[in-house]
Each structure stands twice: as C-alpha cells, then as structure tokens.
Structure 1
C-alpha cells in the first residue's frame, strides 16, 4: 500500500467510530445531492469512498429494489461503522481502493463521491478509473455537504488558487479524465459538481 493510502486509512480509521455523530445534520444534503443524479429504478450506482455509507439509503431509494447499490471504501473501520449503522442493507459494501475498482468496465450508470476528491492520491488517474466503470453518458457527482469556503473555515485554512475544487480547476481536471462537467454549485450549505462520461 502506498504512503498516500496509509495516511488516508489512518486518518479515517481514527475518526470512523464517531464520524456520523460529528455530522448528524448532513442527511438532507446527501438526499438532495443524490436526487440531482436523477437515477431511475433498476439503475446501478457506486458510492466511491462511501465511508460510513451515509449516501447508501438515498441511493437505494433512488434505484429501488431492482437496482444495484455498491459502496466502496479503503478503510475497514469505515465499512464496519456502515454495517453497525445498518447501511449494508441498502448496498453491497466493498473494501476497495477507488484507484483500482473490482468492477467491470461500463457496468454502472452513475458514481456518487462525497468528500472524495481531496483524498485522491492521483486525481486525474483516479477520475479516469471512475470513468472506466461508468457507461457512456453515465454521471459522476462530486459532493460535499458544505461548500469550499465553509470547509476551509472549519479547518482553519484559506482557499488557495490551486484548490482542486475551484470551478476552473475541476472543469479542467474532469475534462482531462474523460468527463464533461455539466453543473457546479459551491454554496455554504453544499458543494456539488456533476459531470457526464464522454465516449
């Protein structure tokens, strides 16, 4: 495992047990973001970097009982917390690195990724891997329950011009990875960028 992966695992392992209780009011923001994917019954969707699985109930509701919901995360403690919360009933949990997903090419209709992009060791390459598993015309949602400025304030830092989530930077990064950004929202109450897979 690379040093980047070890650092990510250590960061999230230390926080897994109380993750949901630290952010108890995020549920409606997750549901609203999932709704933007406009998933239909029977769709297949991956929550990439699913953590404790907070998006899985909304994703299951969106695709219905005939759909496929997968949650992949690199950190066993996060998946254990998702299971304790009963979210394994809403989707199949996979201990997997989003840089090397154990999924067939073009097997999904959409990927949902909450708070993921800041933790990717090689964002361009990792977004290409997400593209690989999505069918042409499929969607990617990059989400965070608070916007860039609110997150920076919470973390006691300033937003810098090289922030990956800045609109121009993210648009270029997605384009280089085979995605076309179709919408971008960065408000105090949420961050959501949607992109469509290009052929």
Structure 2
C-alpha cells in the first residue's frame, strides 16, 4: 500500500509503503464525491480515503503489528478531541446571544489589557478564543487601518453574535480550533487570549501552537477580567497551587512552549501575563 497523504490526522506518520492484508472477500472501495484519496495499491486504486475532517474509509484492518501501528490510538485521540469540541460548543452556543449583554461592562478593561500588548501600526493581531469579540475594536485601534486583526473561536454562535455587534468592521472572524490554527508559522505579531488557556484540553500544546503562529519578537497576552483569587472565591473554593496561571506554573509552561515570560500580574480584579516570542 502506498500512502498519498502525509498530513492526514489519522494516517500521518506511517511509512510511505505499508504492508496490509488483503482478503478475497474485500470488495473495491469507491471514492465518494469530495473525498480525499489517502492510499492506494496495485490491486486497489482506493485503499483509504477521508471525507471532511471526521470520516475515513479503509480497506484494511487496523492495529496489526508492523502494519498500521499507532493508528487505532490516533483514532481514539481524535474521537476524544471531537468530544471536547462538541462539549465546548454545547456549552457556549445557547449562551452566545446573552454573552455580550452579560459582560458589556468589561469592554474598558479589555481595552486596557490590549494596550499592554504594545503592537505598532501595521502589525498583525490574533484574538484566540475571541468569543463575541470584545477585544477586537481595541486591537484594530492599536494596529491601525493598515494592520490585520483576526478573531478565532470554536463556537459559530459566538462569531455570529460578534458579527451582529459590528465586530466584522474591526476584524476577520474565523471558526477554528485554538489548538490547531489554520495559519502559517509566523503569521501574526501578537496573540491576545482572554480566559482560555487554562480551559483548553491541552494547555501546553495550545501555548506551543500560539508560539508557532507568532513571528519572532511577537507578544502573547493572557488576560482575564477577574483575578485568580476573585474567581476562586466566586466559585466557593480556595486558590489551587496547581493552577496553570500561578506564576510558578505558568512561567515554566511558557518557556517550554517557546515563549520568554515578561510580566505576571494577578491583581484583585484582573489577571494579566505577557510573554515574548524570542528571535531566531
């Protein structure tokens, strides 16, 4: 079997040539309309294909040693990741319409946080997990008309609300996973993220992905309009020493992900951490 897709999330990592069993009872696979051909062989022109980002057709069994090692585990991981995305969208979708009204008073503190990024006119800014886009007007004001601003969120309903609130005038809105951004490396000069990093399935991977899309010298600003102690008290609990946003935990995580920590501010009524993407 020869593999034709080196970046497929399920089959990536397999050798270019893989031995798989063929049985006489195996029929031929037909390539559905719009499907991506992933593998073929001399006997069968279609051995594996993918439809969209979540359905695969295979003409061979998985998991036999030396044949397709690791594929079942990757499939299980993809299912778990999809479940996490579904849970996130299930939570935020019904709340999107009221989100802006509920947190409208936060706009000034978002603007103050964005000001701490220090982006120059003409630069490129990304608000990852932008929600209804409260930070987007401030980001646009900072980079100016010649700059680029993108707002990324996993929940379509949040982006619909952002558009309804006029945020398309300030930024392009993109439906995407914050942990797998559809952007080339070094695409932006600054990443703003409010209340997201300690809620993604894999914070270390997310910080690394945000570093990947940030050009050398770029800035990361993690923000929350409530301080850690304030949020803990609101939920009736004490501060967790294992909290990622505690300075002792966040600094090593940032360094491991490719960031140079610059500032940590856990004030009574807001949280802010700033880091720089080192140069080559």
TM over 0.5: yes
Query: What is the aligned counterpart of 1:126 among 203, 206, 222?
Result: 206
State the Cα deviation string for residues 6-32 of structure 1 (Å, max 9, x = none): 222122113211112112211111111
**Structural mapping, 1:1-199, within 5 Å:** 2-198=82-278, 199=280
State the Cα deviation string for residues 19-76 of structure 1 (Å, max 9, x = none): 1211221111111110001111101000000000000000000011000000000000
- Contact 2:197 2:206 (8 Å CA) reproduced: no
- Give the superposed CA RMSD: 1.1
C-alpha change, 1:78 and 1:35, in structure 2 (3 Å) is same
Instruction: Count residues with an aligned counterpart.
Output: 199
- Superposed displacement of residue 155, structure 1: 2.6
| Structure 1: distance between partners of 2:90 and 2:238 | 24
Higher RCO (Cα < 8 Å, 6 or more apart):
1
Unaligned stretches of 5+ residues in structure 1? none
| Structure 1: distance between partners of 2:264 and 2:151 | 24
Unaligned stretches of 5+ residues in structure 2? 1-80
- Contact 2:254 2:260 (8 Å CA) reproduced: yes
Match of 2:5 in 1: none
| Structure 2: distance between partners of 1:180 and 1:12 | 32
Q: What is the TM-score normalised by the length of structure 2?
A: 0.69
Larger relative helix fraction: 1
> SS in structure 2 opposite 1:13?
helix
Q: What is the TM-score normalised by the length of structure 1?
A: 0.96
> SS in structure 2 opposite 1:195?
strand
- Contact 1:8 1:119 (8 Å CA) reproduced: no
| Structure 2: distance between partners of 1:173 and 1:131 | 12
